[in-house]
Structures are given as C-alpha cells and as structure tokens.
Structure 1
C-alpha cells in the first residue's frame, strides 16, 4: 500500500521542526562565543575527559641513561690478526708487521697459539708486545712473565737457524786481577748468546792499561786511612767481521772492596751500550734506559731475540776482507 504524498511531506516537516526546536534552536552559530561560554565549554570538557584516572608514571633511571656503543672496530681488529704460516719455521721478527693491532690483540694471539700447540709462534707473539707494540708497563710485565714461563717449554733459539754474528766485548781497565774480569765477561757472553737465540756469539778482550799505585788517602780531620778509590773501566762491543763497527762506550766504576759487584756492573754496562746502539735504529721499539725501568724488572728481560739480532746487524762498518793463503808447490824444472 502506498503512503499518500501529503502525509510524507507533513511527517518530514514535523521531524525537522522537532529536531530544531529541541536541539539547536537556542544556539547561535553566527555570533562569536563569549569568554564565559568558552570557560563553560572548557569546564564541561574537563569533566568528561579528565575524570578518568590516568596510569601512574614510574621513573626508570636506566631508561634515561645514555647508551654506550661498543667499539666494534677494536674487536674487528683483534679478529683479523693473522696466524701466519705455521707450517714453516718462523723468523725472529714474526708478527712484527701486525703490531698495529696492539698489545691486547697480540696477547690474545699468543694464548691462542699456545692452545693450538704452536709454542715457538706464541713465544714470538709475546716478544712482539715488548719490541713492536705500544705497550704500557703492566702489559710489558705480563709479557715478560709469559716469556719466562714458555721459555722453559721450548728451545729459546732462532727457529730459522743461521750462523751467529760474532761480537767482542771490550773492557779497558787498570784492574790488577784481569783474570776475574775475563771470566765474568766470558760467562756473560754465554748468557747473552742464549738469550739471543744463539744469533750472537761473544769473545772477550781485556785491555789492561798500566796504572800508578793507588795513593793512600786519609781523612782530612781524623787522619785515618780511607778506602781505596774505585777502579774506572770502559766497555763497548764490536763486530768481528767489520771495521769501525762498535757500540758507544760506557764508563763504569768498580769498587775495589766489593768484587762481588763485578758481574752486575759489567752486565749493566753491556745493556747500556746496547740500548744506546739500538736507539739509532727504528725497526723496533727501543728498550727503556736502565734508570727508567720499573722497579723489579731486570734490564736483560727487556731484550728479545729480535733485538739482540738487531744489535748485531746494526753494526755496519766496513767489511773485513778475508785473507786467502795460496800455497805453491815446488815444481822441478824439466831439463
């Protein structure tokens, strides 16, 4: 059944009129709202929306702390350090070309080589901490302890094997009993030869200069005799197969009444002369002067096999020609 059109028109008009009368008749959409009306609207909005309870804010200092990024570059460097060719005898400067990885990475390399059973290569890695890497006192001390420990397990030699360089320890002195001095120098030469991995061999040369008999000194006030003055000595090293290939001479004083100090005085003088010679060469990090070493560290512990070999090769004087003796057989003249 169809609804008549006049009924539809009346119904639509009634609905629109009722909505306007009950809803928006009292509102003026053309005039600007007064401040009072704005304040009232704001209060109504707050009552509707802010009546709900907001969740409590929990303060978490850790969330506000700055984020520290790890230095992946250093880890990458440590992981990139190469083991090298482990199937052939290594040279004494093995791993020196990787010194820029630093002492920490070099120590990790040495420990890894120890676990793999390559003791000679591990020993060389520890030595690079002393003569190649920019190491602090603590890192050097740990490397020295590791070298001492591992040296008891492997032969402290030149893995590649080569003829040792011959050096002579010269000592000039007016010392009366030069036999004791010669004996101590020979013992010291044997010790250094072992420390160098047998890359160096040593002879002794004692130059005894005539000296006047020591004057009897007396105390200026009491007149009592004073101990005799110490004996002045000079020490230097030279290469046997070169002219003018010598280390800087070192002066030393030997107390006459303390002969037991002779060995240590000579040992210190050899180190001082060697350190001065190595300071002119930049292939390795020069060991510190003896007076600058930390307490408790022996001077010779600063010297690696590569440094001892560097000492010998740095003495570059004129080569001494080899003399050939030709024996001629007497020939009978044929008549």
Structure 2
C-alpha cells in the first residue's frame, strides 16, 4: 500500500511513449534510450518493472508491449493516456496528490502549492493543457452519454444553456435526440471554438449558439434550462455559489437549473472526491449540501434522478415558480 514505484512507473512509461514505441517486435533498451535521450541503465530498470506488471515483455532483442500494455497507447480512445501522461492536464493534475496533506490541513487545493498557480490559470498559460483537458472531458462522458440523454425528459426545455459546456459533446447529444430544442453553450474562447466545430460536425448550427465567456460573468438570459455538467465539484463553496447565482439571475421565471455530476453518498467515488480537493479545492457534495448552496440564490431542489452509475441530475426551480 505504501509503494509509489508502480503508479509512477506507469506515468513515466506513458509520458515517454513506451507503449507506442514498443509495438510489433519491440526494441532494444539501447535503441530506445538513444531515441528518447535518457539513461540506458535507468531505462532498463523501468522496463524491468513494467515487465513484472505485464505492460511489456522481454524478447530476444529487448522489450515489446503486451496486449495489456497496448491499451496505454495514444489514440485508443479509453482516456488512460491523458490521466497518466505527466505533460497532459489529467496526469499533471494527479501529482497534486503530493500536496494532499496541505489540502487536508487547510481545505485548499494542492495544485497551486505544487505548480505556483491554480489549475485553470495553468490551462490558460499552457494551451496544450487546455486541449488535453477538453479531450479528457469528452472521454469521460463518451460511454455515459446515451444514458444521460435517455435518463431525463429534456424535451421539457425549449432552450438549454450549457454553462461551461466544454467542446459541446453533451449538448450536441441532447440536441441530436430532441429536434425541437435550441442550445446555447458558454465557455472560454479556445474551448468555445471547439464547440462550434462540434455543432457544425453534427449539423446543429441552425439550433445552436456559442458565447465566449466565463460562468462567473452574466449568462445569456431567459432560457428554460441552465445545465451545469461536472462543473460545481471543481469549485469550493464560494465559487460554486457564484456560478449558481449567475444561473439563477439569468433563468426564465419558470426556468430550471440542472446540475449533473457525482453526488456524495449516491454516485460519488471517494478517490475522485479526494482528487477534487487536491486539484481544485472542491468536492463531490451531498444532496443537502447542494440544497443549501442553491437556497442562497432562491433555488429550490425539486428532485434527484440517478442518471448513470456515476452521475445524478439535480433539478432546481426558482422559488415561487411552482
């Protein structure tokens, strides 16, 4: 339980691209070390440990990836590379766990303590991190999208604003299933541009709008629903309240605020809960915590639907709207 050798060896292997480089007949340690400009002695130590894990196997001339190791290749679509690669958003963020004691002591994120700026500022400063984070979000929802779309009566809402909607994957799936809904996505400029491409690829341009902006600023007003999908758990209570406040002030009087994310004691994972703390200073809240946050802005929880094995939908209405 105390060993860090295996998790770090996997991360270094993926960062060096070993699963991709060792396909087919594989390669010798010496050739790999020359290509990668790393120490051949140290690389041999890494490969030997990866062999004990079944990631690679020895050959007469060196090492090659096993079928299991090949699942760590780039382009497999399983999202593992992003979470392991130390120069991608997910893998970089995971190292915030090194500062977990700080997070437990203070309740604050460990990410800024490790990297000198918070996660979101890091994405802004390094566009390749922003790109890999957007892809991470797409990978996270891919398998669950059909159940998210089928698990709620989205047809109730003539217009949906997807707040912090990323590259538009979730909203596009909803609009594709419900031809009468108009969608409006709000996100920061680089991600908003990707959302436009997503909607164009799905031929949804006539039913979509994209606004470049932050969910801490005023949102497009008058929609029948404001969707927050995997947003609030990234933020502490102060910032979560600000996001909900923007949704409440923008919503049509009979509008709804829909929160889709893991919920504590229902569909939350304890390990992911600690990740939210260490990376963002957030957490996966319980129903009563959501109810309390929303009540500060005149939002009343109408119901909770378990959409998938990982996420619930919390349906809020404006107080007095019935």
Same fold (TM over 0.5): no
- Higher-strand-fraction structure: 2
State which structure, 1 or 2, has the greater radius of gyration over its C-alpha atoms. Answer: 1
Q: TM-score, normalised by structure 2?
A: 0.29
Q: TM-score, normalised by structure 1?
A: 0.28
- Higher-helix-fraction structure: 2
